[in-house]
Amino acid sequence: PLTGEGTRALLAKDPKNSLKGMGAYFLTLNRNKKSVCVDLKSAAGLEIFYDLVRHADVVLDNFSAGVPAKLKIDYAHLKDINPRIITCSVTGFGQDGPNFQRPAFDQVVQGIGGGMSITGESADKPTRAGIPIGDLGGGMFAVMGILAALQARHRKGHGQHVDISMLDCQISMLNYMATMYFLSGENPVPLGNGHFVHVPYNTFRTSDGFVIIAVIFDSFWDNLVGLLDIEALKDPKFKTQPERLANKAYIEGILNDVLSTQTTAYWVEKLTEVRVPCAPVNNFAQALSDPQVLHRKMVIEIEHPEGGKVNAPGNPIKLSVDSDDRYAPPPLLGQHTEEVLRSLLGLDEERINELRAQNVVR
């Protein structure tokens, strides 16, 4: 819209989390994008949008269910303009059903979707995921849906609508645990950082922090016992997973006592040497300076369009041929309106100025 989208204002005036009037949200989410401001509620603005659709492959929205139809920018309207268009809507609950018009945000769908009930230390204190998995899950599944629709169009020639519900995504990510519930009829409970099958598979305190040990296979257990050389853990009955699970508290108690005597770095080095899956529990400073993370170009620089730079997460998708890690700055409001209307739609300066004067574009 002519006033800018919602994320443009988030943290924009926070001195610790902004750069030249752009907050961390906007800086991160809008790199490599162009900003065109069009008033979709005006007839002239809607015509401009339709003209853009004629050149487009995909139209993505995160409006509440029903809003695209009211604005006449849903698939039913756009397919008549461009039969090959793919539209995608990301909403809280999808486009239909008994509750599809309820408002939703990240923690709302985390709660309804069941994930919070198995997160944290206790069923009495449900805990949301530290990252906004409700929001991010919707975005990731939207990409998968759009790519599937593009492939279908490549093979069959038609466009279609991709309907992504954030709640559907949360249910999908319950995965095998949902199947376990259907088989047993029992609701799973939070296990903290432990595992409901494997032992030891948990986070243990060290002298200066925490270390994760993840023993999945019995061979890893043998390697761990050989390293620690603790007589109590050499009992032959612990060599198989069922007995380790039956003695989970006993085994983890011994490990907590031993691992707390040395630093996290010490244990990560020793455990890695004998091929026991392990990891430190990094804070952001440690995670974002990890040599593997840096080698994979997962920390990159974003430039501000008016000067200055900020670091941000890179692109996790690495293509063998078309992997190009250049990042364009996030745009100023309406920065590319004239450029796009000229290059894509062929409008001249007189027409663009006329539209500006009518508050149709900015």
Question: In the annotation, is 290 catalytic?
Answer: no
DSSP type of residue 197: S
Report the phi/psi class of residue 358: left, alpha or beta, with left for phi > 0 and alpha for psi in -120 to 50.
alpha
How far is 38 from 73, CA to CA, in rounded Å?
A: 13
- Taking the CA of residue 182 as centre, how many other CA atoms within 13 Å lie in the half-sphere pointing to its CB? 6
CA 98 to chain centre: 27
C-alpha to C-alpha distance for 80 and 247, rounded to whole angstroms: 65
Catalytic residue among 39, 135, 163, 168: 135
CA distance 234 to 223: 11
Give yes or no for a cis peptide into 200 (omega within 30° of 0): yes
* Among 234, 239, 227, residue whose Cα is nearest residue 268: 227
Count of C-beta atoms within a 10 Å radius of residue 253? 11
CB atoms within 10 A of CB 338: 17
What's at 236, amino acid-wise?
P
Cross-strand bridge partners of residue 58: 86
Q: Calculate the CA 273 to chain-centre distance.
A: 33
Read off the tokens for 343: 């290059």
* Joined tokens for residue 104: 């939703």
Residues catalogued as catalytic: 135
